[in-house]
Amino acid sequence: GVDLTAPVCRLTTAAIGRGKHSGHVELRWEVVDQQLAPEPITLSFSLSAKGPWQVIATGLRDDGQYFWKIDNSVPPSVFVRLEVVDAAGHRQESVLQQAVDTRQVAPRGRILGVAPVE
């Protein structure tokens, strides 16, 4: 048969990781397609819901979740996009409508004191 339809996908959640996933944002998604590519998932972020997009991870299996390690280079508020490709090359994307507040998970520090170097 010939595949004429694009995958159906939905980025469902971006939640603050807890426990061993502290410092991460847990991204969850749903994908429906009969013939997905072997590693069909790309996750990206942007300051705007319309892009431009920076890749978080690409070539992921369709496991339905990914733990994104947040560092200080990630802006304090970002939109997240899921992109899916099937075996025929059809692409579909889903963008979270709410920006993710990464300030809750970005590493923080506090200077407790300063000493002269001898």
pLDDT at residue 86, rounded to an integer: 93
pLDDT > 90 in the chain, percent: 68
Per-residue b/e over 12-36, b at no fewer than 16 CB within 10 Å? eebebbeeeeeebbbbebebebeeb
Q: Is the pTM of this model over 0.75?
A: yes
- Where does residue 114 rank: exposed (0-12), middle (13-18), buried (19+ CB within 10 A)? exposed
Higher-confidence position of 113 and 82: 82
Q: Are strands 91-95 and 24-32 parallel, antiparallel or unpaired?
A: unpaired
Averaged pLDDT score across all residues of the chain: 90
Report the candidate in 104, 111, 115, 40 with the shortest Cα–Cα distance to residue 78.
104
Q: What are the tens digits of pLDDT across the range 21-50?
A: 888 999 999 999 989 999 999 999 999 999
pLDDT at residue 3, rounded to an integer: 80
Q: What are the tens digits of pLDDT across the range 73-88?
A: 899 999 999 999 999 9
pLDDT at residue 107, rounded to an integer: 55
Report the candidate in 15, 16, 9, 21 with the shortest Cα–Cα distance to residue 81.
9
Q: What are the tens digits of pLDDT across the range 49-59?
A: 999 999 999 99
